[in-house]
Amino acid sequence: MAKSSSTRTTPAWKRAGNNRTNASARKDGDGNYVHNEILLALPRVEVEVVLPKLEFVRLKLRQVLHEAGETLKSAYFCDSGMFSVLNVMPGGKSVEVGLIGKEGFSGTPLVAGFRTSHTRTVVQGDGAAFRMDADALRSALPKCPTLERQLNRYAQLLAVQVTQVAACNRLHDVNERLARWLLMTQDRVGSENLPLTQEFLAQMLGTRRSSVTVSAGTLQKAGLISYTRGNVTIHDRRRLEKASCDCYGLLQLQVKEWQSQDA
């Protein structure tokens, strides 16, 4: 990952490839590589429409991008790090229902023409994203059929994910869900070092903090992870996968189908 220190810059891709395979050669104005797969998949014409409306933003750990019930001011194309999508209940309890990595974006209601977010979106790890104003996105869509298609497809994929998570939340116990969550997170942030408090994990899994303590303790004793004050390190992915429920595999599979299946 590039090491630009500026907090906000407007990107300007250098020309490189046009299709997905070598698209990662694209860079923004600072010479940073662009990672977001939706943006990378855009044809040149659409890039030229979208580009001037994108703003590269660095995101802080635990920053809230969208609050449940509030108006969506912009969409965020995740470029590094990862977003958690939470459902917040009256009373304050929350459950994570989806994860967004560089394959996606946050603000799905916008593509269907809605303006309010029904979920809270928070940032995991330190990350970066391309921010686009809601109105700008809206006005760009008619001019950018590929973009629109990609966004619709991703919204659908996210729905599939949420569906799976809904069932998982109902049927699997904390241990399995914790393992699954760690794996999915690692897949998206790319590091085996995750900055997470147990309190925070509890919010994700929709459980008590002390349940997380116990569950994580078990994993730690078994040597799958280690835990120190706000930091989880994953040691043994293989065995972690065994400890998790099938949902992890299923969710991976669904993403793959999504990438392969064209419309």
227 versus 258: smaller Cβ distance to DNA: 227
Of 34 and 42, which CB lies nearer to its own copies in the complex structure?
A: 42
Site for its own copies, residues 176 to 235, rule: CB under 8 A? 206
- Return the residue of 39, 122, 137, 216 that touches DNA, per CB under 7 A: 216
Residue 124 touches DNA, criterion: CB under 7 A = no
Contact between 52 and DNA by CB under 7 A: the answer reads: no
CB-CB contact of 172 with 69 (8 Å): no
Q: Which of 146, 175, 252, 254 binds DNA (CB under 7 A)?
A: 175
66 makes contact with its own copies (CB under 8 A): no
**Residue 171 in contact with its own copies, rule: CB under 8 A:** yes
CB of 190 to its own copies, least distance (A): 26
Which residues make beta-bridge pairs with 96? 86
Query: Residues in contact with its own copies, total (CB under 8 A)?
Result: 44
Which C-beta is closer to DNA: that of 42 or that of 216? 216
Q: Is 197 in the site for DNA (CB under 7 A)?
A: yes
Contact segment (CB under 7 A) with DNA among 64-72, 108-116, 222-230, 247-255 equals 222-230
How far CA 206 is from CA of 42, 71, 81, 198, in Å, comes to: 37, 25, 22, 12
Separation of alpha carbons 245 and 74, rounded Å: 35
Shortest distance in whole angstroms from residue 232 CB to DNA: 8
Contacts to its own copies by CB under 8 A: 85, 87, 89-90, 93-95, 97, 108-109, 111-116, 118-119, 149, 152-153, 155-156, 158-160, 162-167, 169-171, 206, 246, 250, 254, 257-258, 261-263
